[in-house]
Structure 1
Amino acid sequence: MIFLRLFSHRLFSRQWWKTTLLVVLAMGVCVRLGIWQLDRLDHRRSFNARVEAQVKQPRLVLEGAALEADLQAMEYRQVIVTGAYDQNAEVALRNQAWNNLIGANLVTPLRIANSGKVILVNRGWIPLEDFTSNDWHKFQEPGEITVRGIIRQSQTRPEIGWRKDVIPGQGEAPLKAWNMINVAGIDSQLPFDLLPVYIQQAPNSAWIGMPYRSLPKVELSEGPHLGYAIQWFIFATILGIGYPIFIRKEEMSAKSRDLPRVTSTTDHIETTSRFIQNVVGGEWTGKG
């Protein structure tokens, strides 16, 4: 009954309605953040399911009918393809690390044998000094070769801290160093069409030189999203339950010390801030 009386008479009284509004807004923010974390959890689970499904698939031989398949839906599937590199159209992916050393990855179009199709291959890492000197010819792999790796989607957003690449316009010199493997962007500066994905070449025990090859480590956990969502919902619940108790405590304290009533906007903001601090500190129950 005390709670009901507080809710009906005090929460929206002239003294407390502004503070109540601020607390309700804070509760809404907490609930929204909780829903956002659940949405991120759902996206994470969907991503994990897609990756696991592709990892379990047999290795795709990229020839014939497979070249017409929806390769963008096959990210992380193992792939094998035979062809010859077009070294003249090679580009580099800058700011790549290998054992804490900075360098670049060489990305080279592979003309797939007996098909007329071309796909980009991330061949691996070279040192910074070789990248900056444009001394890439020593890493060439002439003739027909077989590439093993995984399918990767075109990168549409740069990694944190890097800017998007400025795609060269018609008649401008092709861009040799890129911040991301933007297949469509690289395609726009080439005289031939690329398949919409690229291959991340896998390490091979028989290959002991550069470029150094590696595959991405894909984390398939659900992350902290569920825990964060529960935390935000708990905060919203504590605000809703603790606020009436806080008002009662404040009024009793003010009455015992003959303090003025909360009236100004500044007073309401300060009172709300004090209440939220008590919630965070676990003191809203009035203990201590």
Structure 2
Amino acid sequence: MMKIFRKMFSRQWALTTLLVVAGVGVCARLGLWQLDRLEQRRAFNAQVETMRAASLLDLNLETPADIASMEWRAATVSGEYDFENQIALRNQYHNGIYGFHLIAPLRFSGGAVLVDRGWIPAESDSTSADWRVYDEDGEITVTGQIRLGQGKPAFGGVADAPPMDGTRLEIWNNLDLEKISAQIPYPVLEIFIQPNAQTTDDAPPIPYQPVIELTEGSHFGYALQWFTFATILLAGYPFYLRKQDD
């Protein structure tokens, strides 16, 4: 065994040994990363299941201080939309058609909350004046799920930069609730409501609800693969060197 060990670090094999050690480290790290992803997935599944089992939250009756921890809980609220502070979220699709999602504050007796009203087509709907054709007057009752915003853009996405002159940014790349709320002249909750979607919803704005698969995915299998690769390198390299002496 000492002979093999000395051979590993000989001038002839030192670089190969270094590459093998690096390969083992990379494979092991990727395996641990997949296990971490698995734990994140399990935590997400538990959050969704717990919140879906919770009772319907009526925001007109209570707005819990820890509402940001209640993502995916069903909620309802009645109030009136403030269309003067409505914004649009770009790069949204419905049945393959490009458009926007309209995000508007709903003011109610206990405060205000942003609502993702749904998808509208992009045809000539690029300014807030164009969006007014989708206004809903009077008191509106919205029932849906509590959702959190997107604090930073997805990989490859573009961050939003509100104008330095203090004017409103009307079309956003990301649903950054903190930045959006900062340009609304009154406090809003740190969540938004994503209304329930109905199969009969065919007139814009069309509500959208994501389809969630409560599975653990393939993370555990991928972790086993990476650990197997690390083991093969770790055990196979000395065996290969031994064969070279035969």
**TM-score per shorter chain, which class?**
over 0.9
Q: Is the 8 A contact 1:130 1:136 kept in 2?
A: no
Match runs of 1:1-288 below 5 Å: 4-64=1-61, 66-112=62-108, 114-115=109-110, 117-132=111-126, 134=128, 135-169=130-164, 171-204=165-198, 209-252=203-246
TM-align CA RMSD: 1.8
SS at match of 1:84: strand
Displacement of 1:36 after TM fit? 1.1
Paired residue total: 245
Match for 2:144: what amino acid? G
Displacement of 1:139 after TM fit? 0.5
Runs of 4 or more consecutive aligned structure 1 residues displaced over 6 Å after TM superposition = none
Q: Distance in 2 between matches of 1:195 and 1:163?
A: 25
Q: Deviations over 1:95-147 (max 9, x none)?
A: 100000000011000001x22x1110000000011422541111001111100
Displacement of 1:160 after TM fit? 4.2
> Kindly, what percent of the aligned residue pairs are identical?
44
Q: Distance in 2 between matches of 1:14 and 1:129?
A: 68
What's 1:259 paired with? none
Greater CA drift, 4-13 or 222-231: 4-13
Q: Distance in 2 between matches of 1:123 and 1:59?
A: 19
Q: Is the 8 A contact 1:34 1:230 kept in 2?
A: yes
Q: Is the 8 A contact 1:120 1:194 kept in 2?
A: yes
Q: Is the 8 A contact 1:203 1:214 kept in 2?
A: yes
Displacement of 1:245 after TM fit? 2.1
Q: Deviations over 1:66-120 (max 9, x none)?
A: 21331111101111100000011110011100000000011000001x22x1110
Name stretches of at least 5 consecutive residues in structure 2 with no aligned partner.
Answer: none
Q: Distance in 2 between matches of 1:55 and 1:110?
A: 23
Match for 1:176: what amino acid? E
Match for 1:164: what amino acid? A
Q: Distance in 2 between matches of 1:92 and 1:233?
A: 46
What's 1:279 paired with? none
Q: Distance in 2 between matches of 1:205 and 1:9?
A: 70
Match for 2:120: what amino acid? I
